[in-house]
Amino acid sequence: MSQASIRVRLTLWYGTALALILILFAGTIYFVMSRGLRDQVDASLEEAASAAIRTLGEHRFGPFLIFEDLSQNFPELALLDKFFQIFGPAGQVTIQSANIKSREIPLSQTAFQASLKGQSTFESVRFDEGVPFRLLSVPIRHTERLVSILRVGTSLYPTERMLKRLLLALVIASPLAIIISLLGGWFLAGRALMPVNVITCAAQRIADGDLTQRITSPRSTDEIGRLASVFNDMIARLEVSFRQIRQFSADASHELRTPLTITKGETELALRRPREAEDYRQVLESNLEEIDRMSRIVDELLFLSRADLGEIKMTMTPISLDSLVREVQLQATILGQDRQIETVLGAVEPIVVDGDELRLRELLLNLVDNAIKYSHPTSQVELSLRQVEAQAELKVCDHGIGVSSLEQQRIFDRFYRTDTARAHASKGTGLGLAICQWIVDVHQGAIHMQSSPDTGSCFTVLLPLRAPVS
């Protein structure tokens, strides 16, 4: 059963439940009907008996009573479906109606005994020919003495025939009803499960590697509709992350290939013929620069992948952000000296946050390094720190090349560098801001930038203030 398809199981469950209900229903109908018919027969027998007793009373219970007299006075007794018998006090037949013909229907011991006690008796009997009868025996007493016993009887044949027909109808109609509703159930279960088949096929195509596949199901809020939309959302997210992973590997290899190609080309060129010691020194120096660059990329990549795995340990301590900003400003002044870029302090409020000093310093240095790197010579970079509600707001603003709004969404992606940035400063891996984003995230803060090309950029970092010690 557990291996059968849901459609088969649903249909079988449904069929079994329906069959049980039908059996119960048919049984109840048959029982109520047979009880009703018997009660009806009994009531008509009682009626006939009391009419007969009345007639007998009028004839003073004389022994000359004949059925014809009875039926003349009471036309309802002339009904063909009833017969009458009158037994003497010893139980022997004295008179009986003509429609009983020559059939022998003796008084049973039970009826006789009951009559002696003055009780009426209903009996169902079946004679040799198989015709069923319902009999009512009523004692007729005069001054506490049993004078005679009146018996009214009727054939149960019409009742039995009716019940047989009913049974036949139920026996034929019930399985038919079950078959029809099983077919209906099979059809409905198939219809209800059709979207599941569609989902299975789509999932199969996705499993084969086509992540662009989506489930096309009518936009509905039923169970299947919700399943389809959750499934589609999941595949969309998977598609994005797979694309990012592919992009990331392509970018990583591309970033590593450039310094490798340079190193290789320069080394090959140097080895082509014997050279002066000074030439070799120059080649080695240039190679060292490229090797430095590669090891930086590898270090940063390693850091990011360890961060992804949650392996970077953080030591959270109270950090005075304003002192950190001042220290970084001094370093930035040295960094910008070559291109006469001055780093100035705007408003700096004393603010303490909970954080890892090393990482927060790295965050600030990355931002300041970018600001200087992407500034025009002789321009200014401004650092400011202030409290906004329950947050520390740190700003690093420059007057440099800026970033177009389209590109702004991607600058936090790993290895992403804008074309203007590549043209402006060849050095850079495009991993700095990805690391900043991670540092801000682990400090439960937020980072965003405002920028317009050629006007400059402003990076804002929001960090929660240190929780007051209670």
Positions touching Mg ion (CB under 5 A) are 370, 432
Please check whether residue 438 is in contact with residue 304, taking contact to mean a CB–CB distance below 8 angstroms: yes
Is 139 one of the binding residues for ligand ATP (CB under 6 A)? no
Judged by CB under 6 A, which of 421, 440, 461, 462 binds ligand ATP?
A: 421
CB-nearer residue toward ligand ATP: 70 or 439: 439
User: Minimum CB separation from Mg ion for residue 464, in Å?
Assistant: 25
In angstroms, the first-to-last Cα distance of the chain is 64
Residue number, nearest CB to Mg ion? 432
Determine the size of the site formed for ligand ATP (CB under 6 A): 22
Q: Which does residue 336 touch among Mg ion, ligand ATP, none (CB within 5 to 8 A, set by kind)?
A: none
430 belongs to the binding site for ligand ATP (CB under 6 A)? yes
**CB nearer Mg ion, residue 195 or residue 432:** 432
The dihedral sign for the CA sequence 186, 188, 191, 195: negative
Residue 428 touches ligand ATP, criterion: CB under 6 A:
yes
398 interacts with ligand ATP by CB under 6 A: yes
For residue 352, report the phi and psi dihedrals to the nearest 5 degrees.
Answer: -115, 130
Considering the rule CB under 6 A, would residue 429 count as an interface residue with ligand ATP? yes
* Contact status: 336 vs ligand ATP (CB under 6 A): no
328, 374, 399, 439: which one binds ligand ATP (CB under 6 A): 374
**Span interacting with ligand ATP, options 214-222, 303-311, 340-348, 423-431, rule CB under 6 A:** 423-431
Question: Of these, 364, 411, 439, 447, which contacts ligand ATP (CB under 6 A)?
Answer: 411
Q: Which is nearer to Mg ion, 373 or 443 (CB)?
A: 373
- Binding segment for ligand ATP among 15-23, 106-114, 197-205, 400-408 (CB under 6 A)? 400-408
Q: Distance between CA 453 and CA 448 in Å, rounded? A: 16
> Taking CB under 6 A as the rule, does residue 458 contact ligand ATP?
no
Closest to 368 measured CA to CA, from 443, 244, 457: 457
Comparing CB distances to ligand ATP, the nearer of 153 and 402 is 402
Which residue's CB is nearer to ligand ATP, number 121 or number 429? 429
CB nearer ligand ATP, residue 134 or residue 398: 398
Candidate segments 73-81, 172-180, 210-218, 370-378, binder of ligand ATP by CB under 6 A: 370-378
185 is a contact residue toward ligand ATP (CB under 6 A): no
Q: Does 433 bind ligand ATP (CB under 6 A)?
A: yes
Q: State which residue, 121 or 343, has the beta carbon closest to Mg ion.
A: 343
User: Could you say whether residue 121 binds ligand ATP (CB under 6 A)?
Assistant: no
Q: Work out whether 418 is an interface residue with ligand ATP (CB under 6 A).
A: yes
Distance CA(451)–CA(469), nearest Å, equals 38
**Shortest Å distance, C-beta 346 to Mg ion:** 21
CA separation for the pair 112, 110 (Å, rounded): 5
Is 359 a residue that touches ligand ATP (CB under 6 A)?
A: no
Interaction site with ligand ATP (CB under 6 A): 366, 370-371, 374, 398, 400-403, 411, 416-418, 421, 428-434, 457
